[in-house]
Structure 1
């Protein structure tokens, strides 16, 4: 279901896949993040690290009435403080969604799926 953004010129419909890709790209710019993890798949208890072409597989976008929520499944770098990395990712994703699309995101949930030694 696409998000509809209204402005003085008319309406813009943005598909969830576009929002997921933008959110994943914004998250990858944060220090301490190794990459995105698949939200559906574990292999032997180890999260699958996604490449740049599959970023949206690690992001889930939900719309409920006037609320937008984004879930990010990430893998962090060993030696970084997980809570700080998660807070930075949340802030960056909210900022990018507001600036690029004009979409107010109510909640950005972070699910740390693993830690990788770089």
Structure 2
């Protein structure tokens, strides 16, 4: 379901995948993020076969033009998780406001794992 922005000239429809792409770029640019985790088994299967979309690990929910974002991440060992997550939340909200003029209601981050240098 697209996000709809109405103005005096007409309407702008922004698809979920566009929002997911913007969120994905903001997440990957953030310090401490190693990778995005699969949000469900469907994404896990696609990742196994080499198909790794940029919106992996990102779920967008739009209800009555209210946008909620769920982000599933793998973070780097040794970082302060609350500080990194707060930075990601601020970056996601800023980027979506800047590029689309969408204000986000909730950004939820689910840390699915920690990766050390030995894991690489």
TM-score where L is the length of structure 1: 0.85
- Please identify the structure whose Cα radius of gyration is greater: 2
Match of 1:68 in 2: 67
Q: Give distance in 1, aligned partners of 2:101 and 2:93.
A: 10
Task: Note if contact 2:62-2:68 (Cα within 8 Å) is conserved in structure 1.
Answer: yes
Q: Give distance in 2, aligned partners of 1:9 and 1:75.
A: 43
Q: Give distance in 2, aligned partners of 1:34 and 1:17.
A: 22
Q: Give distance in 2, aligned partners of 1:8 and 1:30.
A: 36
Alignment of structure 1 residues 1-118 onto 2, 5 Å: 1-41=1-41, 54-118=53-117
More strand by share: 1
Q: Deviations over 1:77-96 (max 9, x none)?
A: 01101111111110000000
Taking only aligned residues, the RMSD between alpha carbons, in angstroms, comes to 2.0
What runs of 5+ residues in structure 1 fail to find an aligned partner?
Answer: none
Q: Give distance in 1, aligned partners of 2:73 and 2:101.
A: 24
Residue 67 (structure 1) shift: 1.7
Secondary structure of 1:57 counterpart: coil
Aligned length: 111
Q: Give distance in 2, aligned partners of 1:26 and 1:9.
A: 30
Q: Give distance in 1, aligned partners of 2:62 and 2:12.
A: 16
